[in-house]
């Protein structure tokens, strides 16, 4: 294999490490990258390098942040007593677009025993630690409305009821259809679903 092909192959592997990139997509990105001018490549690498150095995980909610505690957790203008539990940081973005004004807790995935993802593998213990502090009065379970999201929601609901009986647990209203993933719901529908949230059942 020629050295440029080896170089392309390595780039392809690097891009393929991103979960949403397909093998074909990775090949396209690798080719796009080598077609950039030297100056453009340096600029691209600087952006990646700077982002890589500044990204942290918020010590409170598990969201991405550039500080130890994210902007949302440290925002005193938001409601502290309502926390929406979501699977992924992208869900936070979707709920922010929908105007949610409480706080978040990002699980970093969903319970998925077939793929060996158990509750201990997710950011769940930190949620219970937050609840034990006593400030949070309501937890909105905003996991995706598919089988794994529902199983994760059920587990969290049961644990909250068992350990924190005085905390209200709700879920977005049924305007969201079965199988919905939060990030694909349009902001207005998501806003209404959160506003008209109901007791978790
Ligand atoms: Zn945070």
pLDDT value for 2: 84
Residue 177 confidence (pLDDT) = 66
State in Å: Cα 4 to ligand 1 middle.
43
Same domain, 22 and 110: no
Asked if 44 and 112 sit in the same domain, the reply is: no
What spacing in Å lies between the alpha carbon of 76 and ligand 1's midpoint?
A: 12
Co-location of 83 and 27 in the same domain? no
Same domain, 9 and 106: no
CA of 30 to the centre of ligand 1 (A): 34
Range of the domain at 47: 3-54
Q: Would residue 130 count as lying in a domain?
A: yes
ipTM of the complex: 0.99
Strands (E) across the chain are located at 56-57, 64-65, 82-86, 103-106, 138-141, 168-171, 198-199
| Ligand 1 midpoint to CA 70 (Å) | 4
State which residues of the chain have pLDDT below 50. none
CA–CA gap between residue 31 and residue 55 (Å, rounded): 27
Residues 96 and 160 in one domain: yes
CA-closest candidate to residue 178, choices 199, 152, 141, 147:
147
Is 62 part of any domain?
A: no
Q: Report the separation in Å between the CA atom of 104 and the middle of ligand 1, taken as the mean of its atom positions.
A: 7
Same domain, 47 and 139: no
Do 104 and 150 lie in one domain? The reply is yes
Q: How many domains does the chain have?
A: 2
| Contact call for residues 194 and 95 (beta carbons, < 8 A) | yes
**Statement to judge: residues 44 and 109 lie in one domain:** no
Residues 121 and 162 in one domain: yes
Q: What pLDDT, on the 0 to 100 scale, is given for residue 179?
A: 62
Question: Does 104 share its domain with 188?
Answer: yes
In the reported structure, the alpha carbon of residue 146 is separated from the centroid of ligand 1 by a whole-number distance in angstroms of 25
C-alpha of residue 186 to centroid of ligand 1, in Å = 24
pLDDT at 175: 63
- The reply to whether 101 and 195 lie within a common domain is yes
Is residue 115 classed as helix, strand or coil in its secondary structure?
A: helix
- The CATH number assigned to the domain holding 123 equals 3.40.1360.10
Tell me the DSSP string of 178-195. TT--GGGS-HHHHHHHHH
Distance from residue 190's CA to the centre of ligand 1 (Å): 21
What is the pLDDT, as a whole number, of residue 75? 96
């Amino acid at each position: 294999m020629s050295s440029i092909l080896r170089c392309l192959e390595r780039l392809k592997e690097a891009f393929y490490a991103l979960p949403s990139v397909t093998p074909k997509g990775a090949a396209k990105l690798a080719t796009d990258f080598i077609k950039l001018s030297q100056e453009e490549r340096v600029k691209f690498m600087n952006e990646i390098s700077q982002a890589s150095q500044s990204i942290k995980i918020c010590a409170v909610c598990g969201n991405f942040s550039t500080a130890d505690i994210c902007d949302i957790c440290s925002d005193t203008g938001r409601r502290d007593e309502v926390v929406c539990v979501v699977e992924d940081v992208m869900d936070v973005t979707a709920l922010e677009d929908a105007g949610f004004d409480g706080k978040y807790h990002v699980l970093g995935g969903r319970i998925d025993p077939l793929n060996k993802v158990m509750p201990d593998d997710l950011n769940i213990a930190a949620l219970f630690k937050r609840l034990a502090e006593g400030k949070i009065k309501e937890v909105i379970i905003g996991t995706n409305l598919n089988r794994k999201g529902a199983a994760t929601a059920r587990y969290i609901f049961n644990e909250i009821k068992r350990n924190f009986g005085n905390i209200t647990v709700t879920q977005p209203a049924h305007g969201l259809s079965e199988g919905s993933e939060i990030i694909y719901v349009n902001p207005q529908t998501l806003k209404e679903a959160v506003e008209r949230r109901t007791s978790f059942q």
